[in-house]
Amino acid sequence: MTLNLRGIIPPMITPLTEDYKLDYKGLKNLIEHLISGGVHGIFILGTNGEGPSLSNEVRKDLITKSCEYINKRVPVLVGITDTSFEGSVEIAAHSKASGADAVVIAPPYYFPISDAEMDEYLNTLIPKLELPFLLYNMPSCTKMNLSLNTIKKGKEMGALGVKDSSGDLDYLYNLIDAFKDSPEFLVIAGSEGYLPATIKHGGDGAVAGGANVFPKLFVELYNASVAKDDFKIAALHRQVTQIDETIYSVGTTASRVTKGIKCALSIKGICEDHMAMPLHRFEQPEREKVKCHIENFEKEFMAES
């Protein structure tokens, strides 16, 4: 199946109500915000989407409503990985029934697994999928760094590409080099700061968390990178770095990036920032810091636009 997934594909956060249900109004607002910002696709139930922390009921509701609201304007990718094999198959089937365009497979989390076990997992799972799929390397959350051999086997079984969130630029470059003779196989960065380097080296785009908040910025950076406009790349990349140094740096917990993104969206009036347990949203002091960072960022951005 031909499916163009190059460009900026935000790992969409999941808008929730205070009682951990799906916030329909917030979801619709967020989707319109992303699409009007020019994104090339939307990835739901990823890390920033808190996928592993959501009930199956909320996951399925999110898939159904996202596909309904997006209405084929951009491709919808769904993270299906679950601790249970049957759970992954179930979410994949629901994604197909809801009209999603592709699913995303990461190693099942909790137990550390070997390359051989991951290969067997893919051998068993992939024949049960009814949608195209991408592989997802997220070692900080899954206890496994996908080997090049496993990714090559995934490609042989039909994978459209791989999203790498290892944070290791050399590993990302090795992936791009390994598949340079297969331009149909996509290599997408999960570390948004690597976007210009990814494109320059021959990669295909980024699953950029910050694009939840500032989609136009990341789309412009992608376009500048493709056009090899070094002056514009430098100016836009400085803004992306500023997001990392400000909004992503509020608080001390490892979850501060997702918290910062959700908080920023709440401050911008797009959706609330309730989070699924065990995470919790920022308290007022952190919220005030994020608000200040956004105001300063937007003043600078408007001044340069």
Residues annotated catalytic, as ranges: 47, 110, 136, 163
Indicate the helix (H) or strand (E) that contains 189: strand 186-189
**Cα–Cα distance measured from residue 129 to residue 100, given in angstroms and rounded to the nearest whole number:** 12
Phi, psi of 197, rounded to the nearest 5 degrees: -65, -40
**Cα–Cα distance measured from residue 218 to residue 189, given in angstroms and rounded to the nearest whole number:** 13
**Cα–Cα distance measured from residue 264 to residue 287, given in angstroms and rounded to the nearest whole number:** 8
DSSP assignment of 19-57: TS-B-HHHHHHHHHHHHHTT-S-EEESSTTTTGGGS-HH
Which residues 6+ apart lie within 8 Å of 7 measured at CB? 39, 40, 41, 204, 205, 219, 222
- Tokens linked to 224: 């500048």
- Tokens linked to 133: 């799929």
Q: Radius of gyration over alpha carbons of the chain, in Å?
A: 18
**Cα–Cα distance measured from residue 67 to residue 261, given in angstroms and rounded to the nearest whole number:** 22
Summarize the chain as % helix, strand, coil (round to 5). Answer: 55, 10, 35
Comparing C-alpha atoms, which of 206, 210, 245 is closest to residue 222?
206
Sequence letter at residue 130: E
- Mapping DSSP to helix (H, G, I), strand (E, B) and coil, where does residue 289 land? helix
